[in-house]
Copies of this chain bind each other. A is one copy, B any other.
Amino acid sequence: MKQKVIFGVDVGGTAIKFGIFDTEGTLHNDWELPTDRSDSGNHILEQIALSIESVIGKIGIAPSQIEGIGLGVPGPVLENGEVVEAANLGWRCRNVQQELEELSGLKVRAGNDANLAALGEVWAGGGKGCRNLVLLTLGTGVGGGIIQNGRLVFGNRGAGGEIGHMCVEPKETLACNCGNYGCLEQYASATGIVRLAKTCLFNADNFTAAKAGRAAESGKNANFTAKDVWDAVKAGDPAACQAAEIFGEKMGLAMANLAVTLNPEQFLLGGGMSKAGDILLKYIIKYYEKYAFSPCKQVDFGFATLGNQAGIYGAARLALGEEGEQA
């Protein structure tokens, strides 16, 4: 390797993912380590610095080739690299950017992992080349990341892009995990769509969960997954379709309100549930068209493509910095 390289690191509660990228966004090597969470996560940054040092030696990368390290953290991060809190790691109020710079001797930039996924997708994924994008990650919860004019939106206290906690149903009586009522993630996460389907099943008594069959066999008490629900929607099951309408209405409303605020060029869907594919967009777009302010209707809808590597891509892109943004 002779060209400039950037290290992208994504710290999770279980594993630390690493990648070596060139400045064009191509991943050349990647590896993982189990996260050492002992001692309030106090050894994690050492783990990272040592692993990178060892790989630099093994591959033979010259110091002059290295642009820096990007670091994704599962919690809010300020633009200066200070982690407000990362409960999964035991971190609280520490400037990981500064600490890792001291440990590694390299330039470091840090950001929130969900936000960085959006930056990764505009660098080398489903939003490649897009300068105004909103990523909605539909997993166990709903996360997100916002790119505005090529730059990541951090927010004042690192809580920008927490799209899952937009209130889309002020009259909801069931509480969200965050303590509020009517958050988007209560309807649009994998957990949310299963809950909706169960409610519709309970009301309709005709849910068949077509492809999976399990629900059909065991009736109302069935244990089914978000995939089962979307398979049932594809098969035309009325109760599942009713749940999909509620999903679509809440997503369409939230995305219309994001559009009138940020006027993005593209919305991307990511996370495990996005594998259901175009059927999600069918329900979302129906309601997006209803709620969106007319000048903001012209927008593309697509899917994230980097999967759980989006974090290391985005981390590397962040470390590449402004010069890269002009490229």
A interface, CB within 8 angstroms of B: 76, 79, 84, 131-132, 146, 148-149, 151, 153-163, 165-167, 170, 178-180, 183, 249, 253, 256-258, 260-265, 291, 293-296, 298-299
Contact = CB atoms under 8 A, between A and B. Distances in A.
A201 to B, nearest CB: 24
B296 A159 contact: yes
A114 to B, nearest CB: 13
Given A160-B263, A261-B258, A264-B156, A167 B253 contact: yes
B295 A170 contact: no
Say how many copies of this protein the assembly contains: 2
B159 A260 contact: yes
A155 to B, nearest CB: 2
Nearest to A153: B148
Contacts of A178: 293-294
Contacts of A179: 294
A295 B261 contact: no
Contacts of A170: 249, 253, 291
B257 A167 contact: yes
A262 B160 contact: yes
SS of A interface (majority): loop
B167 A262 contact: no
A264 B167 CA distance: 17
Contact of A162 (B162, B180, B263): B263
A169 to B, nearest CB: 9
A257 B253 CA distance: 12
A284 to B, nearest CB: 15
A150 to B, nearest CB: 10
10 contacts: A79-B149, A148-B148, A157-B296, A159-B296, A165-B260, A170-B249, A180-B291, A180-B293, A258-B261, A261-B261
Given A79-B149, A148-B148, A161-B261, A155 B132 contact: yes
Contacts of A160: 148, 261-263
Contacts of A153: 148-149, 262
B291 A167 contact: yes
B162 A154 contact: no
Contact of A151 (B76, B149, B298): B149
A74 B146 CA distance: 26
A298 B78 CA distance: 15
Given A151-B149, A260-B162, A156 B295 contact: no
A245 to B, nearest CB: 13
B149 A132 contact: no
Given A148-B153, A295-B157, A262 B261 contact: yes
Contacts of A258: 261
Contacts of A146: 261-262
A154 B149 contact: yes
B162 A296 contact: yes
Contacts of A180: 291, 293-294
Contacts of A294: 178-180
